[in-house]
Amino acid sequence: MAKIIVIGSCSVDFTTYAPRLPSPGETLIGTKFTTSFGGKGANQCVAAAKLGGNTSMICRVGNDQWGKSYLDHLKQAGVDTTFVKLMPEVTTGIAQICVAESGENQIVIVPGANAYLKKEDVEHSSQLLTTADVLIGQLETPFETTLEAFKLNKGIKILNAAPAKRGIEEILPYCTILCVNESEASLLTDCDVTIKNAVTTLKKLLDFGCETVIITLGSEGAVYLSKNSQQPVHVLCEQVVPVDTTGAGDAFVGALATFLVLHKEQPIHQIVGAACRVATLSVTKEGTQTSYPNKFNAFEKEYKYINL
């Protein structure tokens, strides 16, 4: 069965819910508090596993109560944890999240053990990385480690360039797919991203050397452009009332990876549309990984798209 590898972050999410997001210096009384498993890497890995992907995680967590709990959680989700390392005297990464009634969120991340993911982790897992069908990386762990893994893998490589940062051009020629949201695309291209200028932005990102660029647009779906086709496409998605948008982008990436290997006979607009559907389903529930859908027939419908 096709193997999906995620190299990246694991964090514990401490989430508060409030009527709205606080202004600077303001204290709000919230309505609810939850503790859950998150981190962009693990979110994407669990999203893929829940959809039927054969997944493995390369990461580091603290040798504390949260790290041990996370390790058990990944195993229960069906993720191969052979290359999850418990680190002594280092805390597991955490994310402090505030969610408004509108579904908007603010997030502060403390990397903890995520900052210690090293090239030696790539070396220890080199056989797995070399033969994996899909490799997913993000930017919540050291860039040099992700770059080393991308150089090694021979399959489909998906970089979710989040959190957005400059100076990542070196990795982009190794990317099969660069996946970013509007704000991340804006930072990388120095232009505000809208549907109207999406084609220009896609072409700028494609010039960095990756094969395909996908920009996710939240409730507006996603746009993409590939070097092979040179036809920019806007894939539309269903409109819903969001409950919590946290982790929706990760749901998209995990679904994208899974559908690329399990439904590779499908046209790319259908795969992107199905990934948008998974992300849309996730925002209708609270939480990150807990909001991700289990395996279902995501290709029972034709997804609407527009050639730009």
Active site residues: 250
Residue 39 in marked binding region: yes
Residue 250 in marked binding region: yes
Residues 255/51, Cβ–Cβ less than 8 Å? yes
Residue 38 in marked binding region: no
Residue 12 in marked binding region: yes
Residue 42 in marked binding region: yes
Residue 102 in marked binding region: no
Q: How far apart are CA 232 and CA 279, in angstroms?
A: 21
Residue 285 in marked binding region: yes
Q: How far apart are CA 182 and CA 178, in angstroms?
A: 13
Residues 166/187, Cβ–Cβ less than 8 Å? yes
Residues 163/139, Cβ–Cβ less than 8 Å? yes
Q: Which amino acid is at 125?
A: S
Residue 226 in marked binding region: no
Residue 218 in marked binding region: yes
Q: How far apart are CA 242 and CA 286, in angstroms?
A: 9
Residue 23 in marked binding region: no
Residues 110/93, Cβ–Cβ less than 8 Å? yes
Closest CA to 184 of 227, 214, 219: 214
Residue 244 in marked binding region: yes
Residue 41 in marked binding region: yes
Q: How far apart are CA 246 and CA 291, in angstroms?
A: 9
Residue 216 in marked binding region: yes
Q: How far apart are CA 128 and CA 119, in angstroms?
A: 14
Q: What is the DSSP letter of 119?
A: H
Residue 204 in marked binding region: no
Residue 219 in marked binding region: yes
Which residues fall within 8 angstroms of residue 305, CB to CB, at 6 or more apart? Answer: 233, 234, 235, 236, 269, 273
Closest CA to 184 of 139, 143, 227, 151: 139
Residues 50/148, Cβ–Cβ less than 8 Å? no
Residue 103 in marked binding region: no
Backbone φ and ψ of 249, nearest 5°: -65, -35
Q: Binding site membership for ATP: which residues?
A: 181, 216-221, 249-250
Known binding residues for K(+)? 244, 246, 282, 285, 287, 291
Residues placed in the known binding site: 11-13, 39-43, 140, 181, 216-221, 244, 246, 249-250, 282, 285, 287, 291
Indicate the annotated binding residues for substrate: 11-13, 39-43, 140, 250
